Amino acid sequence: MPDIVNLAQKFALIRDFWSPKIAGQLNGQYVELARLKGEFVWHRHDDEDELFLVVKGILTIQLRDRVVTLHEGELFIVRAGIEHRPVAAEEVHVMLLEPIATLNTGNVMNEHTLRDLDWV
């Protein structure tokens, strides 16, 4: 695996929305890249925090008590146990940082659940 990851090149390889790919690994965590569009499922990660960094576009993260809007270059950490739903009105490119064992749909199992992520 090369030391340098070109985000634009990696995002160009991702075809599906809401299907994170692994771009790196450090300290028991994956650095994941994902293209998002539309609404995801409400979910929570009981034991893990989840970092969202917007590389391109505008991402809304709905929480039960508020809404967080992230623009390019901004990040937000959803703390463990907090129910949330990412929403992207237009296509968004995000980088996620979370423990390797974290499921993308957290406590919810549905057609979006990915047990094994691919490297990009």
Residues 50 and 59 sit within 8 Å (Cβ to Cβ): no
Tens digits of residue pLDDT in 27-43? 999 999 999 999 999 99
Determine, yes or no, domain membership for 114.
no
Determine, yes or no, domain membership for 2.
no
> Residue 5 is which amino acid?
V
Residues 114 and 104 sit within 8 Å (Cβ to Cβ): yes
Determine, yes or no, domain membership for 89.
yes
- Minimum mean pLDDT among 43-47, 72-76, 111-115: which range? 111-115
Which CATH number do you get for residue 92? 2.60.120.10
Residues of the domain holding 58 = 7-99
Nearest to 38 by CA among 23, 9, 5, 60: 60
Determine, yes or no, domain membership for 56.
yes
Determine, yes or no, domain membership for 88.
yes
Cα 61 from Cα 111, distance rounded (Å):
20
Tens digits of residue pLDDT in 78-119? 999 999 999 999 999 999 998 887 766 555 555 665 567 788
Q: Name the domain count of the chain.
A: 1
Question: Confidence class of residue 73 from pLDDT cuts 50, 70 and 90?
Answer: very high
Facing residues of 93 across strands?
A: 35, 56
Residue identified by tokens 């695996």 is 1
